[in-house]
Amino acid sequence: MNATAHSPTPPAQTTVGKDHSGFWSILCAVLFVPAALTAGVLTLASERASRCLTYGQQCVSGLPSWLFNVGVGLGAVACVIVLVTSVARVRQVALAAQILGECMALLVILSHV
């Protein structure tokens, strides 16, 4: 009998970076609502918007509203893609598209200042 006991060597672990795109996507989607509300309040607090609401003067529209719809739609679709797909590169690109869409929607709100 062999008296020496050999401990099994642990398998080599590969260090693969964890993809946190899903977390960031949900966080960006949740934070978009208070950001849009804050942008709306800032817009309404501006002198031009106040004059427009109170007296009907200086009512100049900002960027077209369809850009807001496109931005929100792009953000929503990209958020779903991030949560559904399993390919890390696709998730990262979709997260970037989501952030871009949400920023575009916020820019439309702030353009009415």
Q: pTM here?
A: 0.77
- Give Cα 33 distance to the centre of its chain: 10
How confident is the model at residue 112, as a pLDDT? Answer: 79
C-alpha to C-alpha distance for 64 and 107, rounded to whole angstroms: 11
pLDDT one-digit tens code per residue, 6-51: 656 655 544 445 789 999 999 999 999 999 999 999 888 888 888 8
Give me the half-sphere count of Cα atoms (radius 13 Å) on the Cβ side of residue 65: 2
pLDDT one-digit tens code per residue, 68-112: 999 999 999 999 999 999 999 999 999 999 999 999 999 999 887
How does DSSP assign 75-109, residue by residue?
HHHHHHHHHH---HHHHHHHHHHHHHHHHHHHHHH
Distances (CA, A) of 64 to 5, 22, 35, 61: 76, 31, 19, 8
Contact 79, 98 (CB under 8 A): yes
